[in-house]
Amino acid sequence: MQGWRKRMEDAHISDIGVGPNNQYHLFGVFDGHGGKEVSQFVKKHYTEEFLNLKSFKIGNIKSSLTESFLKIDELLVEPSGKAELKKYAKQSKEDDEKRNAKEKNKQMDLFKQLFDYKNQEDVDVAMMTGCTANVCCIDQAKRKIYFANSGDSRSVMCKKGIAYPMSVDHKPEMDIEKNRIYKADGWVSEGRVKGKKNLFILY
């Protein structure tokens, strides 16, 4: 059941032939943590934001991938982004209620009323949920492949039966990640940022 719910929180993109001369192919996997709201948001906006970046328009794909992650972060905390996330949260709550209709539990219902962010009108959804991101951009004209990731989603390329890692997981216990977290006034407890796994990702 947990595995099924986990898959329900994920989203992906597979956009073939985008950009100038349709020479780019963009793929991404967004693993929702704590809910599916942010992963759905990223799925809807990622490609458009990527293609609109100045760095992309001048052909700097490496910078575009980095900037696109940061741009999505910015969108999530803008008023329009927060409003969109609340719509996703409302839909998610309705979906949860339909799935749980046959398994009603009074204690669980009380817990959700008190603590579930989906029941709170003034909550900042982006602070309660998030997603990892793993994106691949193929430049067909130049025959180059670019990878970018945030969080613990992983890219692997297979060549002649050998698997080659194309990304490095961002784990809170890694020194470089731990330092970044503490510089941002966070902390790591039991392998999680602020004790909550869904908070160590960028968006």
Number of domains in the chain: 1
Half-sphere exposure of 17 (CA within 13 A, CB side): 1
**112 CB contacts (<8 Å, ≥6 apart)?**
118, 119
Does residue 160 fall inside a structural domain?
no
Does residue 12 fall inside a structural domain?
yes
pTM (predicted TM-score): 0.75
Does residue 195 fall inside a structural domain?
no
**69 CB contacts (<8 Å, ≥6 apart)?**
133, 148, 150, 202, 203
Q: What is the DSSP letter of 186?
A: -
Question: Considering the chain, what percentage of its residues have pLDDT values greater than 90?
Answer: 45
Does residue 140 fall inside a structural domain?
yes
pLDDT of residue 23: 96
Does residue 142 fall inside a structural domain?
yes
Beta strands in 64-177 (DSSP E): 130-131, 133-139, 144-150, 156-159, 162-165
Does residue 190 fall inside a structural domain?
no
Instruction: Tell me the residue range of the domain where 23 lies.
Output: 2-151
Does residue 187 fall inside a structural domain?
no
pLDDT at 128 over 60: yes
pLDDT of residue 134: 94
Does residue 43 fall inside a structural domain?
yes
Q: Read off the pLDDT of each residue in 58-86 and give the average, rounded to a whole number.
A: 93
